[in-house]
Structure 1
């Protein structure tokens, strides 16, 4: 009976959602009370209610345990897919990145909202996916994974948004997100395709917000023609900065301001070496960091 109840609750939860399950639990308890009232004995009423509550509680615990096991299995499958796709990229590069434009807006508490536009050229007829990795400057605990949100959308030739692309997300380690972006169909050889990634990552830049140095770097496993990473700092703040990586040419670093007078740091790369880490190290100026938290 318990097994049948668990299977029923699992199917009911999948099709109707958690609120419907809660309503069903209330209905079961109400039925138990009604049964006790018909039979007319206080002991029977209490026993029926306790039995109903106990049955639902045990089934609920078993259901939660089962779903946790399913989530662990799903995470394992996602990690394996990411690993195999990474191995394919290393064995036979399938595309060239023509343009990488990334903007990261940092909030007062270290929350980061990233908008990334990528334009690439397929090098073969079977390009089915693109694999990317995103990281933060500290080993975030597991609970933050559930708060990270990513959407990926095609861009049409005229720059207008197209349809959503499927993605597979995994976490090789705490604070590192691997994303496999799947195309609807392989693009034509030597064509140019574009897509945009929107990434909302709570507390991604917490070290920077708390006054510690934080690093913002790019490293590409495929050839890249042009890459830009623009960082928008919390309102009313400024930073000390220094470059990361050994690039004698094709590297530009500038300070500026956006339309709301927030400080911006822009790093620009031209034909950077493959698998070469380049970027900037930032640290908020203490007096301005204190003022931004008032």
Structure 2
């Protein structure tokens, strides 16, 4: 009961003063306990002071961890709300069209991936503040993998050179699915062309493919896409069976090749992809490639 009351007291203190105040209070009380033991010179007093200090540090740590967990949950709720509101705006008012989408996804042996995406779009209004994108993997990946996902967004200048990083809001509507809202520094002019790049490091994103199961790689946008190139680089020594996803149109082209390091590549090229039309490729590693994953 005493421990519970102490934790509740520390939580209230934490809300009012913050973690630095708790740390200062713990250090101050420990110093007082040590000083008291030194002045009185009693072994029992010293032992009692040490036990009290250890208990206080433990309780303070519990309170800090509890507070941090509550703040993290509150932050996730705020991110989900931002994503929901931006989704509503994006759905009711399509303020841009995608001129080019160029993505290269490198699959490593254990299903880890690195994606490099460059996007060129044309605003249809003068008040385009953000663009909302969704990325996913081919399995309901547990939440523990989210800590390893790293997303960096950077503007591209007219000559293609990298500019400054853009702010982003990342949320996870469900396991294995990430929503990224990219915020522009200032609204670009109507009918201009703006470009940005995305670097996405994602552990075990292609685990089904690495384990020998079919995996899907597809693209679907709410807006019409003038041109898209989706290139998948397989692990060294691996090859794959492929089949199209969706109804192939006249602008659908699927080809195989090799990169400069000799790794097999599968390239999907799309032209004039209609809005809300899903197109992609389903792949499965050939048996001679072997299973490449260890969870």
Q: Judging changes above 3 Å, is the alpha-carbon distance between structure 1 residues 78 and 290 closer, same or farther for their aligned structure 2 residues?
A: closer
Q: Judging changes above 3 Å, is the alpha-carbon distance between structure 1 residues 250 and 9 closer, same or farther for their aligned structure 2 residues?
A: same
Q: State the 1:30 CA deviation.
A: 6.6
Q: 1:179 is paired with a residue of what secondary structure?
A: strand
Q: Judging changes above 3 Å, is the alpha-carbon distance between structure 1 residues 229 and 31 closer, same or farther for their aligned structure 2 residues?
A: farther
Partner of 1:128: 129
Q: State the 1:45 CA deviation.
A: 1.0
Asked if 1:150 corresponds to 2:151, the answer is yes
Provide, for residues 157-207 of structure 1, a one-character-per-residue CA deviation record: whole Å limited to 9, x for no partner.
011111110000000100000000000000011110000000000010011
CA distance in 1, matches of 2:162, 2:261: 26
Structure 2 contact 14–21 (Cα < 8 Å) conserved: no
Partner of 1:54: 55
Range 77-86 or range 100-109, more displaced? 77-86
Q: 1:65 is paired with a residue of what secondary structure?
A: helix
Mapping for residues 1-294 of structure 1, pairs under 5 Å: 2=10, 3-4=12-13, 10-11=19-20, 29=30, 32-290=33-291
Q: Judging changes above 3 Å, is the alpha-carbon distance between structure 1 residues 287 and 29 closer, same or farther for their aligned structure 2 residues?
A: farther
Partner of 1:18: none
Q: 2:68 is paired with a residue of what secondary structure?
A: helix
Q: State the 1:65 CA deviation.
A: 1.1
CA distance in 2, matches of 1:67, 1:176: 24
The 4+ residue runs of structure 1 with deviation greater than 3 A are 1-9, 23-35, 290-293
Q: State the 1:35 CA deviation.
A: 3.7
Structure 2 contact 211–293 (Cα < 8 Å) conserved: no
Q: Judging changes above 3 Å, is the alpha-carbon distance between structure 1 residues 108 and 50 closer, same or farther for their aligned structure 2 residues?
A: same
Range 128-137 or range 29-38, more displaced? 29-38
Structure 1 contact 33–49 (Cα < 8 Å) conserved: yes
CA distance in 1, matches of 2:26, 2:219: 51
Superposition RMSD in Å: 2.2
| Residue ranges of structure 2 left out of the alignment (5+ in a row) | 1-8
Provide, for residues 29-48 of structure 1, a one-character-per-residue CA deviation record: whole Å limited to 9, x for no partner.
57644542332111111111
Matched residue pairs, number?
285
Q: Judging changes above 3 Å, is the alpha-carbon distance between structure 1 residues 190 and 201 closer, same or farther for their aligned structure 2 residues?
A: same
Q: State the 1:92 CA deviation.
A: 1.0
Q: Judging changes above 3 Å, is the alpha-carbon distance between structure 1 residues 207 and 31 closer, same or farther for their aligned structure 2 residues?
A: farther
Q: Judging changes above 3 Å, is the alpha-carbon distance between structure 1 residues 90 and 287 closer, same or farther for their aligned structure 2 residues?
A: same
CA distance in 1, matches of 2:135, 2:291: 28
CA distance in 2, matches of 1:103, 1:271: 20
CA distance in 2, matches of 1:122, 1:182: 14
Range 44-53 or range 178-187, more displaced? 44-53
TM-score normalised by the chain length of structure 1: 0.91
CA distance in 1, matches of 2:175, 2:108: 21
Q: Judging changes above 3 Å, is the alpha-carbon distance between structure 1 residues 137 and 246 closer, same or farther for their aligned structure 2 residues?
A: same
Partner of 1:16: none
Structure 1 contact 116–196 (Cα < 8 Å) conserved: yes
| Residue ranges of structure 1 left out of the alignment (5+ in a row) | 14-20
Q: State the 1:247 CA deviation.
A: 2.1
